[in-house]
Amino acid sequence: MYDIRTREIQEAIAAADVALDHLERARRCLSSASGWGLFDTLGGGFISGLIKHGKMSDAEHEINQAKRALEKFSRELRDVQGYSSVHINGFLTFGDLFCDGFLMDVLVQSQIGRAKRECEDAINQVSRIRSDLQRML
């Protein structure tokens, strides 16, 4: 019985590590997009807008990967006694914003900031649960 419990905890920790990796990558992409977005808002021009949207696309990819990893983490966590699942409040999925202009830039900056906060909240929640699991070993 002990070996099964240990294995289930280790599998949940491994799933948490994968989710955290994608969440950290998403956070870095969002931070970069935010920086480029600020530059774009202050008149950076076409190139900075392209770079910002590229970073947003990278962040969206990592957020989608994190969602899949969080689903797996949730499934693994259900196998560990005392946990039912993980409920990460929904991540923002970026829409393609091709409009340009100051007001649109400000809106995009707001969306990036919100996604970054959601990402940080998810990192904190998964990290806390991972620490709890580590103590159970």
- pLDDT, tens only, 40-67: 666 777 777 778 778 888 888 888 898 8
List the single range of 29-33, 50-54, 72-76 with lowest mean pLDDT: 50-54
Q: Is the pLDDT reported for residue 134 higher than 80?
A: yes
Ramachandran angles phi, psi of 92, nearest 5°: -70, 130
List the single range of 9-18, 57-66, 87-96, 107-116 with lowest mean pLDDT: 87-96
Q: Is the pLDDT reported for residue 88 higher than 90?
A: no
Q: What is the mean predicted confidence (pLDDT) over 6-35? A: 92
Q: Is the pLDDT reported for residue 86 higher than 70?
A: no
More confident residue, 93 or 9: 9
